[in-house]
């Protein structure tokens, strides 16, 4: 099938060859084809096998040195040591593999959630299906912003322009056609010139079309090019890159210290092999080579948790950036409002174009005449409309309708007025159209009555846009605009409806209305329509939460400034008392922005909370100005024109329900429920995750510092080696490892949304972290040295006590730093169950290491008495109050 030259066939030939009937395939036939052709998806490269992951864990240079040193040690001394070290290193590597596997799985799962849907005709109805379900012969509807889901032969095209840059690299969108193509000289037509085909992986920039699927999955042109989709994208975030650089410098320092330790030991007459092993073990334990990996895991698992609050992360670094957002620029419709539109006002202009009367209801137009006698206002609402109602005439709202909620509301109003939408649409088929776009702000269609041959050109859109096409005296235009303003003050979205009969001899031979044609002039205005869209109930609270968190919400809308301001007042974005007499004082319109001298724009944008009637291009401008003034901007968008603004924003937020595929592809984050409050929840989650990464770093680095200081200082004080290599590795694996993992589950700080955003360039070590690492490290080393000093007895006895105090200190430390601000008491010991389990498990394993026979052999420990345990517990517990004092100081300082 792949060899057929679809572009050379006419639409009918193509439909015949693919057995693609006009109302779409029947479900049973589609299912059979799906079984035959397989799902419409590109094959992914297989995941890395576990042994590869393991090998990459073990190939770390320091691990290799350690294994070599252990082998040498086994050769000259005890094989048990070698075995124990190898076992611990292996265990460590296995944990690493599990972590990486979890992260990879989480990232894969996230990718699958971003599934693309397609609109397809099946069983005579337009349905939305996962694009993987498409089969050859399916008839697919393409709309502005949609991803082309398979290779299609276009059979009906209106103003269709497609961006094929992902496939061909050509960045200029291509105008598509539906006619068959023949090369005059009989040579093959190049892929890029097959204008009647749309290829999987490209994007609809503009217009609408219907196409028949000619190839799916790996049979598509994209499939031929891609062969296998490389899914192992490198997952580095700015934080990871900073950490990797920091880790390298730290590693160098640690290596130098370990070399020093080795030399000290030799000078003091310790066995060289033991000292070498000790130095290498310390290096392995103290070099935080796993930091970047831990960050990936934290971010990936965090992203997975965010799905539960309906925020789908598409680009992992966004999790990190979210915590720094200072400004959220949000759409109005659907994000701040419910997107449950309803026609609540109609202001018909009588046939004699006087606008004197009071607004009357559409019901007054309810005349039980035939469909070809419907008043033009009704005709326009019913016909100049892409929404689709299900067959049952009564089910005008809710699930049975599909399309733009505003257009669904218009159809509902028509039905409520007693007209049959289906009958009207059947009598007046659409023969040409000029689809809606956000710049023109209107939509025009041409219809021909199937019985009389009469033609109507119908148009609806923003009043200022539509009225410019109308033949009306200025006074009437003013009166209509005043009425529109009046409706907008009540928070209504206002549409003007217009049109004119077209002589039957004027015919367009394509489905396309010629752009810039004179056809859209001299229209009669049929009236105004006011639609209500209630604000979402949770928005005022979310806006207040933003403000407490130092984040400024802004509204950017294509709607009328007065409507925007009325809604802003209802949701608390503007104070209720904001001056109404000065209509546009708090709203900046796109036109005003464009007219403003460039040097004044930055300041004006920064002061403005509401932008209305802005074009998509101005959205980018607003983002750029805000960014230049130091803001970190989250920006929502749903249309195809929003993609550049979404990409340019620090966090581009697309809508999962009503957004276009293009917007979703460009975004960093997708709101699965389209709600503004979800952005705020995601910011809180982002802040929590960053806090927890910091807590992890704080924990591991303070512990490592303690171990280094301990091993370095003991010989300086004339004490024997305080810890054996195997003990160092054990502490690294169990005492640091287990609680370290549990930080990811730490709940958010109480004040997480009551403090200003973190400056994006702030170092991970800022806000007292490195000071904490140093003093806690010193404290842990000091307490361990103290117990060694008072212990006496054999070296094994001393080492067991030091081993125990060091372990207990780390466990206390883990609990104490679970909050940066609140005392452990206030936070509660059980509020992070994973941490409690990790600490208890580490404690139990330590007890086994010193109280079992094989533990004594493996770790060279001796059992401790009850009083010695008490001593160790008492000493190590000092870490807790010390850290509580630090928190008190921090609270005082913050106040
Ligand atoms: P919001 O922020 O409220 O989501 P938006 O930026 O999505 O607004 P657009 O969809 O660009 O706004 O609409 C701008 C104006 O264009 C609307 O106020 C309305 O007057 C008009 N309009 C919107 N959709 C249509 C349509 N399908 N047909 C005709 N006119 C429309």
Question: From the CB of 436, is ligand 1 less than 6 Å away?
Answer: yes
**Cβ of 496 below 6 Å from ligand 1:** no
Q: 579 falls in which pLDDT band (50, 70, 90)?
A: low
Return the ligand 1 atom nearest residue 332 CA: 2
Question: Ligand 1 mean position to 437 CA, how many Å?
Answer: 8
pLDDT of residue 506: 63
Which residue would you say has higher pLDDT here, 22 or 461? Answer: 461
First-to-last C-alpha distance (Å) of the chain: 72
Q: Which atom of ligand 1 is nearest to the CA of 555?
A: 2
For residue 462, is it left (φ>0), alpha (ψ between -120 and 50) or beta?
beta
Reported confidence tier of residue 461, pLDDT bands at 50, 70, 90: very high
> Is the pLDDT reported for residue 633 higher than 70?
yes
**Are 616 and 641 contacting, i.e. CB atoms less than 8 angstroms apart?**
yes
Position 236 confidence tier, pLDDT thresholds 50, 70, 90: low
Residue 582 is classified by DSSP as: S
- 889-894 CB contacts, 8 Å cutoff, 24+ apart: 890/768, 890/820, 890/821, 891/821, 894/821
Q: Which helix (H) or strand (E) holds 74?
A: helix 61-76
User: What average pLDDT does the segment 181-198 reach?
Assistant: 79
Assess whether pLDDT exceeds 70 at residue 510.
no
Q: What pLDDT was estimated at residue 784?
A: 95
**pLDDT over 90 (residue 625):** yes
Asked whether 331 lines ligand 1 (CB < 6 A), one says: yes
Q: Is the CB of 557 under 6 A from ligand 1?
A: yes
422 C-alpha vs ligand 1 centroid, how far in Å? Answer: 25
From the CB of 441, is ligand 1 less than 6 Å away?
yes
Give which of 660, 655, 828 is closest to 750, Cα–Cα: 828
pLDDT (tens digit per residue) in 351-405: 433 333 333 445 444 443 444 567 888 889 999 998 877 654 444 444 467 778 8
494 Cα: distance to centroid of ligand 1 (angstroms): 10
Task: Give the distance (Å) from ligand 1 centre to CA of residue 621.
Answer: 20
User: What percentage of the chain has pLDDT greater than the value 70?
Assistant: 89
Contacts of 117 (CB under 8 A, 6+ apart): 128, 129, 130, 131
- Average of per-residue pLDDT across 598-609: 92
Q: What is the model's pLDDT at position 585? A: 57
CA of 205 to the centre of ligand 1 (A): 17
Residue nearest to atom 19 of ligand 1 (CA): 462
Q: Is 613 in the pocket of ligand 1 (CB under 6 A)?
A: no
pLDDT of residue 4: 77
- Residue 731 is given by DSSP the state I
Dmax over CA atoms of the chain, in Å, equals 112
Which residues form the catalytic set?
331
CA distances from 56 to 51, 285, 290 (A): 8, 18, 12
**Which DSSP string do the residues of 805-833 spell out, in sequence order?**
HHHHHHHHHHHHTT-SSS-HHHH-TTSSH
For the ranges 18-32, 60-74, 535-549, 589-603, the lowest mean pLDDT is seen at 60-74
**Nearest alpha carbon to residue 421 among 469, 371, 459:** 371
Give the Cβ contact number of residue 854 at 10 Å: 10
Residue 743 has pLDDT above 60, yes or no: yes
Structure tokens at 6: 């679809």
Closest atom of ligand 1 to 496 CA is 20
- Give residues with Cβ within 8 angstroms of 16, minimum separation 6: none
- pLDDT band for 1, please (50, 70, 90 cuts): very low
Distance 440 CA to ligand 1 centre (A): 10
* Residue 353 main-chain phi, psi, to 5 deg: -70, 65
Ligand 1 neighbour 404 (Cβ under 6 A): yes
Q: According to the model, what pLDDT value does residue 507 have?
A: 58
Residue 449 confidence (pLDDT) above 90? no
Least confidently predicted of 16-30, 107-121, 845-859: 107-121
Write the pLDDT tens digit of every residue in 610-619. 999 988 788 8
In this predicted model, which residue has the larger pLDDT, 643 or 534? 534
Specify whether the backbone of 828 is left (phi greater than 0), alpha (psi in -120 to 50) or beta.
Answer: left
Does 228 score more than 70 pLDDT? no
Report strand pairing: 651-655 vs 633-637. Answer: parallel
pLDDT bin (cut points 50, 70, 90) of residue 801 is very high
Q: Is 208 in the pocket of ligand 1 (CB under 6 A)?
A: no
Closest-lying ligand 1 atom to the alpha carbon of residue 441: 16
Is the per-residue pLDDT at 575 higher than 50?
Answer: yes
Which residue has the least CA distance to atom 18 on ligand 1? Answer: 559
Testing ligand 1's pocket by substitution, the residue of 495, 564, 653 carrying the most ligand atoms inside 8 A of its CB is 495
Which of 870-876's residues contact partners 24+ apart within 8 Å by CB, and which partners?
871/787, 871/801, 872/787, 872/801, 872/804, 872/805, 872/808, 873/808, 875/783, 875/786, 875/787, 875/805, 875/808, 876/783, 876/805, 876/808, 876/809, 876/811, 876/812
Q: From the CA of 563, how far away is ligand 1's center (Å)?
A: 12
Q: Is the CB of 24 within 6 Å of ligand 1?
A: no
Q: State if residue 500 touches ligand 1 by the CB under 6 angstroms criterion.
A: no
- pLDDT at residue 358, as a whole number: 32
What does the pLDDT average to over 53-57? 80
Tokens of 735: 């005492």
pLDDT at 576: 65
- Measured CA to CA, the distance from residue 142 to residue 762 in angstroms comes to 45
Ligand 1 and 694: CB distance under 6 A = no
The long-range contacts involving 763-770, CB below 8 angstroms and separated by at least 24 positions, are 763/242, 764/239, 764/242, 764/243, 764/246, 764/693, 764/694, 764/697, 765/246, 765/697, 768/886, 768/890, 769/694, 769/697, 769/698
Segment holding 434, helix H or strand E: strand 430-434
Return the best residue to mutate from 336, 463, 558 for the ligand 1 pocket (most ligand atoms within 8 A of CB): 558
CA of 220 to the centre of ligand 1 (A): 35
Flag whether pLDDT at 164 surpasses 50: yes
The closest-lying atom of ligand 1 relative to the alpha carbon of residue 386 is 27
Mutate to test the pocket of ligand 1, among 338, 408, 461, 561 (most ligand atoms within 8 A of CB): 461
In this structure, what token pair is assigned to residue 504? Answer: 């039957």
Query: For residue 502, what pLDDT band results from cuts at 50, 70 and 90?
Result: confident
Chain segment 243-276, per-residue pLDDT in tens: 777 888 888 888 898 899 899 888 888 888 888 8
Q: How many beta carbons lie within 10 A of that of residue 251, not counting itself?
A: 17
The CB of 438 under 6 Å from ligand 1? The reply is: yes
What's the predicted TM-score (pTM) here?
Answer: 0.81
Phi, psi of 265 (to 5 degrees): -60, -45
Q: Using DSSP, state whether 461 is helix, strand or coil.
A: strand
Residue 636 has pLDDT above 80, yes or no: yes
Whether ligand 1 lies within 6 angstroms of the CB of 335 is answered as no
* Nearest atom in ligand 1 to 494's CA: 20
CA atoms of 504 and 519, how far apart (whole Å): 14
Mutate which of 557, 559, 615, 653 for ligand 1 pocket (most atoms within 8 A of beta carbon):
559
Rounded distance, CA 695 to CA 281, Å?
24
Q: Residue of the nearest CA to atom 29 in ligand 1?
A: 461
How sure is the predictor about 772, in pLDDT bands with cuts at 50, 70 and 90? very high
332 ligand 1 Cβ < 6 A: yes
Instruction: Provide the β-strand partners of residue 655.
Output: 671
How far does Cα 418 stand from its chain's mean position? 44
The confidence score (pLDDT) of residue 359 equals 37
pLDDT at 544 exceeding the cut of 90: yes
**Side-chain-facing half-sphere of 813: CA atoms under 13 Å:** 33
Q: What is the pLDDT of residues 690-730, one digit of tens each?
A: 999 999 999 999 999 999 999 888 888 888 889 988 898 88
Indicate whether residue 297 lines ligand 1 (CB < 6 A): no
- Averaged pLDDT score across all residues of the chain: 84
Evaluated on CA atoms 787, 791, 792, 793, the torsion sign reads negative
Q: Is ligand 1 within 6 A of the CB of residue 164?
A: no
H or E segment and range at residue 155? strand 151-163
Minimum CA distance residue for ligand 1 atom 2: 557
Atom of ligand 1 nearest to the CA of 460: 29
């Amino acid at each position: 099938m792949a060899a057929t030259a679809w572009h050379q066939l006419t639409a009918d030939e193509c439909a015949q060859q693919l057995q693609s009937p006009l109302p779409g395939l029947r479900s049973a036939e589609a299912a059979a084809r799906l079984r035959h052709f397989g799902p419409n998806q590109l094959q992914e490269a297989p995941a890395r096998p576990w042994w590869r992951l393991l090998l990459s864990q073990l190939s770390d240079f320091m691990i290799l040195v350690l294994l070599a040193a252990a082998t040498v040690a086994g050769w000259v001394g005890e094989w048990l040591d070698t075995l124990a070290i190898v076992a611990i290193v292996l265990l460590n590597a296995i944990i690493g593999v599990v972590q990486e596997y979890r992260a990879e799985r989480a990232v894969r799962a996230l990718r699958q959630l971003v599934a693309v849907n397609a609109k397809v005709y099946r069983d005579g109805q337009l349905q939305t299906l996962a694009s993987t379900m498409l089969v050859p012969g399916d008839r697919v509807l393409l709309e502005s912003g949609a991803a082309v889901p398979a290779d299609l032969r276009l059979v009906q095209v209106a103003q269709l322009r497609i961006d094929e840059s992902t496939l061909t690299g050509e960045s200029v969108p291509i105008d598509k056609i539906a006619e068959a193509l023949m090369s005059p000289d009989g040579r093959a037509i190049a892929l890029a010139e097959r204008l009647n085909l749309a290829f999987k992986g490209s994007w609809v920039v503009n217009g609408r079309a219907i196409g028949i699927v000619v190839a799916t999955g790996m049979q598509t042109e994209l499939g031929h090019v891609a062969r296998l989709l490389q899914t192992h994208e490198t997952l580095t975030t700015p934080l990871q890159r900073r950490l990797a650089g920091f880790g390298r410098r730290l590693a160098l320092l640690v290596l130098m210290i370990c070399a020093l330790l080795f030399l000290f030991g030799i000078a003091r007459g310790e066995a060289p092999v033991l000292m070498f092993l000790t130095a290498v073990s310390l290096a392995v334990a103290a070099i935080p080579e796993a930091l970047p990996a831990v960050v990936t895991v934290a971010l990936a698992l965090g992203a997975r948790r965010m799905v539960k609050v309906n925020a789908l992360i598409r680009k992992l670094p966004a999790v990190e950036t979210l915590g720094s957002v200072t400004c959220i620029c949000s759409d109005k419709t659907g994000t701040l409002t419910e997107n449950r539109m309803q026609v609540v006002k109609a202001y018909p202009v009588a046939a004699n174009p006087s606008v004197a009367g009071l607004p009357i209801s559409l019901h007054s137009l309810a005349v039980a005449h035939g469909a070809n006698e419907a008043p033009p206002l009704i005709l326009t609402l019913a016909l100049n409309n892409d929404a689709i109602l299900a067959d049952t005439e009564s089910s005008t709202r809710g699930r049975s309708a599909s399309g733009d909620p505003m257009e669904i509301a218009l159809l509902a109003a028509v039905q409520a007025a007693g007209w049959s939408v289906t009958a009207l649409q059947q009598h007046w088929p659409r023969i040409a159209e000029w689809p809606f776009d956000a710049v023109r702000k209107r939509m025009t269609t041409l219809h021909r009555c199937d019985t009389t041959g009469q033609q109507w050109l119908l148009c609806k859109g923003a009043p200022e846009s539509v009225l410019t096409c109308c033949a009306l005296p200025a006074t009437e235009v003013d009166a209509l605009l005043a009425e529109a303003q009046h409706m907008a003050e009540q928070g209504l979205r206002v549409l003007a409806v217009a049109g004119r009969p077209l002589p039957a001899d004027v015919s367009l031979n394509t489905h396309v209305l010629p752009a810039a044609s004179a056809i859209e002039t001299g229209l009669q205005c049929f009236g105004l329509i006011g639609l209500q869209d209630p604000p979402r109930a949770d928005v005022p609270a979310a806006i207040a939460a933003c403000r407490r968190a130092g984040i400024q919400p802004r509204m950017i809308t294509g709607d009328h400034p007065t409507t925007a301001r009325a809604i802003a007042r209802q949701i608390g974005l503007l104070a209720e008392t904001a001056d109404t007499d000065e209509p546009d004082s708090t709203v900046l319109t796109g036109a005003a922005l464009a007219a403003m001298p460039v040097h004044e724009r930055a300041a004006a944008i920064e002061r403005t909370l509401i932008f209305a009637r802005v074009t998509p291009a101005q959205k980018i401008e607003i983002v750029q100005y805000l960014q230049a003034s130091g803001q970190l901007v989250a920006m929502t968008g749903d249309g195809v024109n929003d993609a550049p603004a979404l990409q340019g924003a620090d966090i581009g937020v697309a809508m999962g329900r009503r957004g276009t595929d293009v917007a979703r592809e460009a975004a960093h984050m997708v709101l699965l429920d389209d709600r503004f409050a979800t952005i705020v929840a995601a910011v809180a989650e982002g802040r929590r995750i960053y806090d927890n990464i910091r807590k992890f770093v704080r924990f591991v680095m303070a512990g490592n510092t303690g171990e280094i200081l301990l091993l370095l200082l003991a010989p300086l004080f004339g004490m024997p080696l305080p810890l054996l290599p195997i003990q160092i590795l054990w502490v690294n694996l169990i005492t640091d490892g287990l609680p370290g993992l549990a930080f990811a589950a730490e709940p958010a700080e109480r004040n997480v949304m009551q403090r200003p955003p973190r400056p994006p360039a702030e170092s991970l070590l800022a806000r007292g972290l490195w000071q904490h690492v140093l003093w806690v490290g010193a404290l842990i080393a000091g307490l361990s040295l103290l117990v060694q000093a008072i212990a006496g007895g054999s070296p094994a006895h001393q080492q067991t006590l030091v081993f125990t105090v060091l372990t207990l200190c780390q466990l206390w430390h883990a609990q104490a730093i679970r909050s940066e601000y609140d005392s452990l008491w206030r936070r509660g010991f059980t509020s992070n169950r994973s941490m409690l389990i990790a600490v208890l498990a580490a404690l139990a394993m330590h007890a086994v290491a010193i109280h079992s026979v094989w533990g004594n052999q493996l770790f060279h420990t001796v059992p401790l008495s009850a009083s010695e345990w008490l001593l160790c517990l008492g000493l190590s517990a000092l870490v807790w109050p010390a850290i509580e004092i630090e928190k008190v100081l921090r609270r005082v300082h913050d106040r």
